[in-house]
Amino acid sequence: MNSFFANNILPFILAGYAVSILVVVILIVLENRSPLKTISWVLVLLMLPGLGFILYIFFGQNFRKEKIIARKGLRNHHRINYLAHSQITQLADGSMGGDDIAREPTGIVRLLLNNSSAVVTTGNEVTFLHNGTDKFEALIRELKKAEHFIHLQYYIFAEDKIGNQVKEILKDKARRGIEVRLIVDDVGSWELKRPFFEEMRNAGIEVYSFLQVHFPLFTSKVNYRNHRKIVVIDGHVGFIGGYNIADRYKDGDIDSYGIWRDTHILIEGDAVNSLQSVFLIDWYFVSQTELSDPKYFPQNKPVSNKVIQIVASGPDSDWPGIMMGIFQTIVTAKDYVFIATPYFMPSEGVLLALKIAALSGVDVRIIIPEKSDAFITLLCSRSYIREMLEAGVEIHFYQKGFLHCKTLVSDDRISIVGSANMDFRSFEQNFEATAFIYDKPTAIEMKKTFLQDQADSEIVLLPEWVDRSPVEKVKESFARLFSPLL
């Protein structure tokens, strides 16, 4: 029987498998992705027989062109596009009034208007929240002040001390007649159980999971996660940044890692309406309900003079807007570019931009954590260090704990903070949201914070880095082959 199987059936199985792999390889090539990503997937298919095929079905398909979230016909989206196109015209003919706008880097502003319909907002104020205590104290304070509606969106919402504290506030507000809506990512908040959601819904809270994944009926869209962290309260106050809802963010101390170092911002002003637009488009996707009542977009009086564009990107957009904005910021920098990121796996374009900037004499510095919550991504990040050092980029390893900030500051004029990491997943696959802030005092404050983090870091020197164990270098090089897939 075994001989019959080996001689008559097994060859057909192997031939069928070989044909299926060949078909998948052809499909990958025909998608016209970047050669790096194409080669990475071909290597996965060849090096992991069977498993590679399954991984491609679940994680490898490109949904950007088919648009996971269809925006066509949405009144909120139409309104944003109209405002963006109007501002593009005003920039072109010089009629976009105000000294605040006139001073801004119009190339970046116009780019983000074109690729993301990122409306330019003025009269904003920004408050930095550099640790979990400050972030959650500010969030809880503003939640308790809510009078009309609360909209929250988090990648991770944990059922722990801080998660339950926020939940109780939301339940109390909902019972008082205040509209409360919550979106959590189904993978990021995987540990949340049905009773947690039912408790919220019974209190009158509308809550949905984003792109639900049902095992064993796996979805090929599991690879596209909503990584945004957005809060909008009454249309007047908004939050965006790197913090999720969990004790490890609040307490700032993780076993074996040390402190959790992150950055979040509280926004007041018209930029809150831009955050609202991002939330409501995602809300339409999860609930099939469009919220277009003007009450969700109140008129905000100027509270300061900061100019902000909120940029949302993901597989629902035509362009990788956040990546393009970061690229343009780097290539137009004249004095310095300071970056803090937990994962450093840049696209080829951003990688080249960093090298060109450093080789051109721009002071380019990057802080990444020495310890990471993801071993493979840490190896991938380290694989880029030598070429960065050779180009003149300063690399620093954060020592006090796990650095989770997603920030960039350049030339005392542009500050970038949001949910997007400096990696392929944030640039191309995840749903992300980031604030581009054009304001000198804000940039100076962010630069000061960066330099404080740099003081808590250890600089990486090229001779010492080159002289490391060959085993470490091999592991890093091998991990880098999979960087576009992580």
Each residue of 411-438: pLDDT tens digit?
999 999 999 999 988 988 899 999 999 9
- Is-catalytic flag, 400? no
Catalytic residue among 229, 236, 306, 355: 229
Catalytic residue among 77, 135, 173, 227: 227
Do 303 and 346 have their domain in common? no
Q: pLDDT band for position 23 (50/70/90)?
A: low
Do 167 and 294 have their domain in common? yes
Is the per-residue pLDDT at 408 higher than 60? yes
pLDDT of residue 478: 76
Domain boundary residue, one of 60, 87, 102: 60
Each residue of 294-353: pLDDT tens digit?
899 998 889 999 999 999 998 878 899 999 999 999 999 999 999 999 999 998 899 999
The tally of domains found in the chain comes to: 3
Catalytic residue among 234, 247, 282, 423: 234
Do 325 and 306 have their domain in common? no
Host domain of residue 275: 75-113+122-310
Catalytic residue among 247, 404, 423, 453: 404
Residue 316 lies in a domain: no
Taking the C-alpha atoms of 130, 132, 137 and 138 in order, what is their torsion angle to the nearest 10 degrees? Answer: 40
Higher pLDDT, 291 or 57: 291
Residues 6+ positions from 325 with CB-CB distance below 8 Å: 108, 111, 112, 116, 311, 416, 434, 436
Residue 68 lies in a domain: no
Do 473 and 413 have their domain in common? yes
Single pTM value for the model: 0.84
pLDDT of residue 225: 85
Residue 27 lies in a domain: yes
Residue 315 lies in a domain: no
- Distance between CA atoms of residues 461 and 392, nearest Å: 11
Where is mean pLDDT largest: 27-36, 100-109, 443-452?
443-452
Do 287 and 333 have their domain in common? no
DSSP H helical ranges for 48-74: 51-55
Catalytic residue among 406, 423, 439, 453: 406
Which residue do the tokens 């409360």 mark?
180
Each residue of 200-247: pLDDT tens digit?
999 999 999 988 775 534 444 456 789 999 999 999 999 999 999 999
Residues 6+ positions from 384 with CB-CB distance below 8 Å: 344, 345, 346, 351, 480
- With beta carbons less than 8 A apart as the criterion, state whether 54 and 216 touch: no
Mean pLDDT (the chain, rounded)? 83
- Is-catalytic flag, 411? yes
Sign of the C-alpha dihedral computed for residues 367, 368, 369 and 371 taken in this order: negative
pLDDT of residue 482: 64
- Is-catalytic flag, 93? no
Is the per-residue pLDDT at 77 higher than 60? no
Domain boundary residue, one of 310, 340, 369: 310
- The CA-to-CA distance between both ends of the chain, in Å, stands at 43
- Is-catalytic flag, 229? yes
Do 207 and 339 have their domain in common? no
In the chain, the percentage of residues whose pLDDT exceeds 70 is 73
- With beta carbons less than 8 A apart as the criterion, state whether 329 and 359 touch: no
Is the per-residue pLDDT at 388 higher than 60? yes
CATH code where residue 85 lies: 3.30.870.10
Do 375 and 451 have their domain in common? yes
Do 211 and 347 have their domain in common? no
Residue 164 lies in a domain: yes
Catalytic residue among 185, 247, 316, 411: 411
Do 167 and 300 have their domain in common? yes
DSSP code of residue 73: T
Where is mean pLDDT largest: 50-59, 88-97, 440-449?
440-449
Do 303 and 348 have their domain in common? no
Each residue of 352-372: pLDDT tens digit?
999 999 999 999 999 999 987
Residue 359 lies in a domain: yes
